[in-house]
Amino acid sequence: MASLFNQVPSVSAVFALYTSLSALTLVLRNIFNEIVPKKLRDYVTAKFLDLFSSYFQSNFTFVIEQKWDYCGNTTFTAANVYLTTRLPGSSTGKILVGSNDLKNPAAEPNLGVPVNTKIVDEFEGIHLEWTLHYVESKNNSYEKKYFHLTCKKEFREKIMKDYFPHFAKSAAKIMRHRQDLYIYTYDREELSWESAIFDHHTTFETLAIEPELKTTMIEDLDSFAKGKDFFKRVGRAWKRGYLLYGPPGTGKSSMVAAIANHMKYNIYDLQIQSVRDDGELRKILTATKNRSILLIEDIDCGADSSHRRETSKEEDVKLQKNKKKRDLGISLSGLLNFVDGLWSSCGEERIIIFTTNHKEKLDPALLRPGRMDLHILMDYCTPFALKKLVVMYLEIDDHVLFDPIEKLVLEVSVTPAEVAQQLMASKNIDIAVNGLLEFMENKKVKKEENTKVEEKGEIKDAETKE
Ligand SMILES: Nc1ncnc2c1ncn2[C@@H]1O[C@H](COP(=O)(O)OP(=O)(O)OP(=O)(O)O)[C@@H](O)[C@H]1O
């Protein structure tokens, strides 16, 4: 017993040992800090912590960030949509609600996923916890949203294999049945797309176009929607490009609305004139989502895409100077890079639509075969389109003035917008039809006067030449 006591160190010896060990640790830490660079130190510390935490922790966390490879992360979007179905009846202390439907402010608001709030889900008896996190840099130049999905470590493989496809499928189903379509416009101040409910009722049924064009468009869109496997097999981005051209008021914007309503796609309406450079364009475009239409109207006024006539050297220098002064617009190549697939490879089910009133002004590079899949002429009224507008606006099948109006439509160029305006001028059918006839007769008179003036001018020119 006495020998045992002899072996037990005294308190002072233990204290001395503790002091020397502390001093040694301090010295070693100082040496470690002095010799090892900070980056390496952080790395070693992180690894050390990782090792221990993974050893002791029984949970596993999946991190799902908003971006993937500089593009929108579809897994993030799917989670965002899916989790809204888990919110009603959940025990979360808070819930995000909101609406951007200005036309119906009394409507029940939509549900959204609140940040830093645990949302519990269960999949085949497995308990899962979701949390949406949000971080922002001090100067607001950078923000990041990401989900944490946590489960017991042993279910990691199962969740990856079965739960991820499960919620992605549910989200896709919800998105397909969503009634509201959105139109997004880019806010340069906020550097983000601003959305509003897209409430345009034009469909292929209400569009006054030739039946052949209607059939072509519907068939083209339907086969595009079913084309996932085809595009994959031939190694092409799953996108379709349309160039809509024709005079103002012939229904280019209405055609875009009909396409959006038919496909149930949201529209990203990009004012190309306000994009500073190709880098900004890239950022804007990569922030758009799948199953959407990218609309660039009046392409002839935007990017440096109008067909240049031959210019002298001095003119060229002047043009360049002016371009720098204006410092706006993007290059055609920046735009075409995207159209050709560089940026479209970020997403799928994309439709790109360019509109122009002046196809002849566009750079041939934009018109090259294969660049835009279909070039669609939206033209002045044909007798068919005119009749369709009358039937739609006045709800009549026939009228005594139909014949003269139909004859006139072959002689003068009148746009569907002009016809619609005349037909809406009065609720009285006879007054409206008469108004349309008068409007067209006036057009014919003006046209004849113009032709006479032109002929006179030509005769004078010929006389002066003689
Ligand atoms: N083909 C059409 N069928 C039915 N309505 C049409 C058609 N074309 C034009 N309209 C009517 O005219 C209005 C203006 O047409 P829209 O804005 O679609 O023409 P646009 O070709 O896009 O014109 P712009 O080139 O000036 O943008 C529409 O709101 C619609 O009421």
DSSP 42-102: HHHHHHHHHHHHHHH--EEEEEEESEETTEE-HHHHHHHHHHHTTSTT---S--EEE---T
Ligand 1: which atom is nearest the Cα of residue 297?
A: 27
Pocket test for ligand 1, best of 203, 253, 414 (most atoms within 8 A of CB): 253
Highest mean pLDDT pick, 13-27, 31-45, 115-129, 306-320: 115-129
451 alpha carbon – ligand 1 mean position (Å): 27
Kindly report the protein residue whose alpha carbon is nearest to atom 18 of ligand 1.
Answer: 251
* Half-sphere exposure at residue 373, Cβ-oriented, CA atoms within 13 angstroms: 16
Convert the pLDDT of each residue in 91-149 to its tens digit: 667 777 777 666 667 777 777 888 888 999 999 999 999 999 998 776 666 678 899 99
Cβ proximity of 277 and 288 under 8 Å:
no
Average pLDDT rounded to a whole number, residues 368-394:
90
Percent of the chain with pLDDT over 70: 80
Indicate the average pLDDT of the chain: 82
pLDDT at 348 over 60: yes
Look at ligand 1, atom 9, and give the residue with the nearest C-alpha. Answer: 251
Q: Pick 178 or 304 by higher pLDDT.
A: 178
CA–CA distances in Å: residue 246 to residues 42, 168, 383, 406, 414: 63, 41, 18, 21, 12
Amino acid, single-letter form, for residue 359: K
Q: Using the mean position of ligand 1's atoms as its centre, give its distance from the Cα of residue 207 in Å.
A: 9
* pLDDT tens digit sequence for 48-100: 666 665 566 689 999 999 887 767 788 999 999 999 888 776 666 777 777 76
Q: How far apart are CA 10 and CA 91, in angstroms?
A: 58
Does residue 316 carry a pLDDT above 50? no
Question: Which is the closest atom of ligand 1 to the Cα of 244?
Answer: 21
- pLDDT beyond 80 at 404: yes
Residue with the larger pLDDT of the pair 458 and 272: 272
Paired tokens of 256: 């875009």
Pocket around ligand 1 at a 6 A CB cut-off: 207-209, 248-254, 357, 378, 416-417, 420
* Average pLDDT over every residue of 7-35: 79
What are the sequence ranges of the domains in the chain?
A: 2-56, 62-177, 183-377, 383-465
- Position 361: which residue type? K
Cβ atoms of residues 307 and 363 within 8 Å: yes
Q: Please choose from 206, 250, 254, 299 the residue to mutate so as to test ligand 1's pocket, defined by most ligand atoms within 8 A of CB.
A: 254
Q: What is the pTM of this model?
A: 0.68
Query: What's the whole-number mean pLDDT along residues 8-17?
Result: 76
- Give 82's contacts (C-beta < 8 A, 6+ positions apart): 167, 168, 170, 171, 174
**Dist. CA 287 → ligand 1 center (Å):** 29
- Homologous superfamily of 183-377: P-loop containing nucleotide triphosphate hydrolases (3.40.50.300)
Q: What is the mean pLDDT of residues 222-245?
A: 87
Alpha carbon of 279 to ligand 1 centroid (Å): 33
Q: Ligand 1 centroid vs 252 CA: distance in angstroms?
A: 6
Nearest one of 300, 304, 415 to 355, comparing CA atoms: 300
For ligand 1, atom 12, the nearest C-alpha belongs to 417
